[in-house]
């Protein structure tokens, strides 16, 4: 009772009005289930930008952005990460919709003369009382905060591009977050268009994501990028005979070109 009374007092003093935040992210879940199209058995996905209910999307985003920092700080790490993943992905879709269908890539949304500012630096929403941008969420609040140390975030944040890990057909939720992240990792590494073992060259040919953010995989339970790949040898192997070679970690590494085409459903 004292615990509840304390936070009720904090709410009164700070003007917090969103203590009943829906951690099931039901609205966002509905949007995803209706508009995400899974391909290659879920290894990749496309999104129906032209059919999304914009009012429902805006309602979910507004409810999420109404969360105050004092409330957010009381959540556990999984609740915080699920919040960031879902909000980031919803905001990315909102940003794409500002010019859809007249763009081929999210990179077309650069602004300023002569297109200096990337779409991930555009301040188009207010988070915790401050004007913010997509990179603020992914890089500053999550990756660089040293609070989460979770490299699998790279399989949850979606950049609206074909090269990005699949946008899942369900919202991330705290009580299943580890399972959802693990599922996303295994599906992405199983996609031969973006990750594969070349047995003739004894080379892992993988997504450019692992070049850009390789140091992140030194954090948490993996210890290194090579350990990460060895742990998922079964997903990277096209045949069981390749598994021992991948687990040996004695291969070279090559990074594949990244496809920035918009992940739109045709």
Give pLDDT tens digits for 133-185. Answer: 999 999 999 999 889 999 999 999 999 999 999 999 999 999 999 999 999 99
Q: How many CB atoms lie within 10 A of CB 69?
A: 12
The answer to whether residues 232 and 189 touch, using CB atoms and an 8 Å cutoff, is yes
Instruction: Please report which helix (H) or strand (E) contains residue 205, including its range.
Output: strand 203-206
pLDDT 10s digits, 75-128: 999 999 999 999 999 999 999 999 999 999 999 998 655 556 799 999 999 999
Q: Give the chain's domain count.
A: 1
pLDDT band at 12 (very low <50, low <70, confident <90, very high): very low
- Is 11 within a domain? no
Strand partners, 105: 261
Q: What is the pTM of this model?
A: 0.91
* pLDDT greater than 60 at residue 14: no
Cβ burial of 244 (10 Å; 0-12, 13-18, 19+) is exposed
Cα–Cα distance measured from residue 106 to residue 60, given in angstroms and rounded to the nearest whole number: 21
- Is 139 within a domain? yes
Q: What is the extent of the structural domain holding 175? A: 19-255
- Is 4 within a domain? no
- Is 7 within a domain? no
pLDDT at 117: 73
Cα–Cα distance measured from residue 34 to residue 54, given in angstroms and rounded to the nearest whole number: 13
Report helix, strand or coil for 254. Answer: strand
Per-residue DSSP letter, 207:
-
Percentage of the chain with pLDDT > 90? 86
The answer to whether residues 247 and 28 touch, using CB atoms and an 8 Å cutoff, is no
pLDDT at 115: 55
Helices then strands, each counted (H, E), the chain = 11, 7
* pLDDT greater than 90 at residue 5: no
- For the chain, give the mean pLDDT: 92
pLDDT 10s digits, 201-233: 999 999 999 999 999 999 878 999 999 999 999
- Is 36 within a domain? yes
The answer to whether residues 189 and 212 touch, using CB atoms and an 8 Å cutoff, is no
* pLDDT greater than 70 at residue 69: yes
pLDDT at 160: 97
- Is 264 within a domain? no
- Is 177 within a domain? yes
- Is 8 within a domain? no
pLDDT at 221: 86
3-class SS string, 75-136:
CCHHHHHHHHHHHHHHHHHHHHHCCCCCCCEHHHHCECCCCCECHHHCCCEEECCEEECHHH
Cβ burial of 215 (10 Å; 0-12, 13-18, 19+) is exposed
């Amino acid at each position: 009772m004292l615990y509840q009374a304390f936070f009720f007092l904090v709410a009164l003093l700070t003007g917090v009005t969103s203590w009943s935040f829906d951690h099931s992210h039901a609205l966002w879940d509905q949007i995803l289930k209706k508009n995400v199209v899974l391909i290659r058995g879920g290894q990749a996905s496309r999104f129906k930008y032209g059919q999304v209910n914009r009012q429902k999307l805006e309602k979910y985003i507004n409810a999420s952005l109404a969360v105050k920092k004092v409330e957010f700080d009381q959540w556990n790490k999984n609740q915080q990460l699920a919040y960031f993943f879902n909000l980031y992905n919803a905001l990315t879709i909102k940003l794409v919709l500002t010019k859809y269908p007249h763009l081929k890539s999210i990179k077309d949304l650069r602004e300023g003369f002569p297109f200096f500012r990337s779409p991930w630096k555009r301040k188009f929403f207010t988070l915790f009382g401050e004007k913010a941008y997509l990179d603020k969420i992914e890089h500053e609040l999550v990756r660089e905060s040293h609070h989460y140390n979770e490299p699998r975030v790279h399989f949850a944040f979606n950049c609206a591009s074909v090269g990005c890990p699949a946008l899942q057909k369900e919202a991330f939720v705290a009580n299943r977050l580890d399972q959802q992240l693990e599922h996303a990792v295994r599906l992405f590494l199983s996609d031969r268009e973006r990750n594969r073992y070349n047995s003739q060259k004894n080379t892992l040919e993988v997504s450019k994501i692992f070049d850009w953010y390789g140091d992140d995989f030194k954090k948490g339970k993996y210890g290194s990028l090579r350990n990460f790949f060895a742990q998922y040898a079964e997903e990277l192997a096209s045949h069981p005979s390749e598994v021992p070679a991948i687990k040996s970690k004695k291969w070279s590494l090559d990074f594949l070109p990244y496809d920035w085409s918009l992940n739109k459903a045709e």
